[in-house]
Amino acid sequence: KFCFQTFGDRVKFWITINEPHICAKLGYEDGIHAPGLKEKGTTAYLVGHNMLRAHAKAWHSYNSEYRAKQKGAVSLAFNSDWFEPLDPSCSADITATEREFAFTLGWFAWPVFVTGDYPETMRFAINSQSQKLGFDGTSRLPTFSDDDPFILGTADFFALNYYTARKVKAGGGVDQTLSMKSDLDAKEVLDPSWPICGAPWLAVVPHGLRKLLRYIKDTFHNPMVYITENGFSQMGPVQIEDWERWEFYSSTISEVA
């Protein structure tokens, strides 16, 4: 509310949370980001759930108290690679690709844009793995209650952070270990034909952005999309004539023009 009250007369586009998938997974599953926890297969789902609840509460606050006067727009920024099956003729790879989308983009965008709840693909995978490992209790993926802020429709635009793409192969889960990796049971593969820039994970795949935008249009009811992050990291020392970056932006803009 402080931000809306203080800056709302000038700021017309708001992001409540940037990359909740990264915050939850890297902070509470992998222990790479703060707070550095590795509580496998449990806490990240709860953290993601609470971030969605917090976002919805902020959106409803803006909608009821500030929108009429300030006429701004509020969303949260989703990060996603483009995913496609390693073997397009393999049903297992196709299904694994669907899980990849559900566990990344769908985890947060599906409740906001589609049903108000998590993708059934995601919940089924988590519950099936829990049953296989003898995990007792309620689903590790929380459910929204009647007391929670209403989630569906709490975004005025679709904010997308896109950098790269991955091929997806079925398998790769840790069968006897409770974790997000075993829930997902899919392996991400780099296509050797994709050039790598300054970061080892960042394959340059401009056509992936075009395909992902089409996927968003078809899956999330054709929302207004803003690309809130995209870029290219340079190799070696800083160069003034950075032709690789020029080529990257030229190719990317051509794909979405």
Report d(CA 78, CA 73) in Å as an integer. Answer: 16
Catalytic residue among 229, 241, 244, 255: 229
Report d(CA 177, CA 223) in Å as an integer. Answer: 38
Report d(CA 153, CA 70) in Å as an integer. Answer: 19
Residue 229 falls in the annotated catalytic set: yes
Give the CA distances from residue 188 to residues 181, 184, 185, in Å, rounded to whole numbers and listed in that order: 11, 11, 10
Q: Residue 105: which of 79, 82, 76, 83 has the closest Cα?
A: 79
Report d(CA 163, CA 205) in Å as an integer. Answer: 8
Q: Which residues are catalytic?
A: 229
